[in-house]
Copies of this chain bind each other. A is one copy, B any other.
């Protein structure tokens, strides 16, 4: 029960959900932590949906350099106003994103940003593997689709499990921050340089 309370507190900090929402989530879900998390996520998502499409003209360009200077990340995260960009909440969020990119090495921000030839190459490999299985075509097709889905979830920033809490995807973090600061927020672009990897 202590663990649950801590987790709810943690999530409350991320989602900015009120104490009442949190208590309600805990009561309604009978203390089931996963369900409570889902519930709070939905509250965040509902708030975030309302902010979608709003112009993000401000934000931060931030860099994380791993100690030793052999790995670095540059990231641009957009929000609507300078006011939010200067808050500690937003700045910590941007730092988390940069450190996540350093650790998890995504290949793009969104699925649609992955170059078509990269996706094609992966599909070919998966198709060859499926063919080797000797299963019927319909099954093989599903195998390939499943592997492509997994590839995106592992390689695309917003779909990756967040390093500091793998139960959340990075997109959940973005959604939570939108709900918390009340502005539309977007990870625009990043660069990740590992020494000698370029």
Contacts of A64 in B (CB 8 A): 63
Q: Taking chain A's interface residues, is the majority helix, strand, or loop, or is none over half, making it mixed? A: strand
- Whether B196 and A57, one on each chain, are in contact in the complex, defined by CB atoms closer than 8 angstroms, is yes
Residues of B within 8 A of A191 (CB): 74, 191, 193
Chain B residues within 8 Å of A57, by CB:
196
A59 to B60, CA, bound (A): 27
CA distance in complex: A198, B195 (Å)? 24
Inside 8 A of A193's CB, which chain B residues have their CB?
Answer: 61, 74-76, 189, 191
Contact A69 B58 (CB under 8 A): no
Q: In this complex, what residue of B is CB-closest to A94?
A: B69
Looking at the complex, which one of B63, B85, B188, B196 makes contact with A74 (CB distance below 8 Å)?
A: B63
- Can you list 9 residue pairs at the A/B interface with Cβ under 8 Å? A60-B195, A61-B195, A62-B65, A62-B69, A63-B63, A63-B65, A63-B72, A73-B74, A189-B198
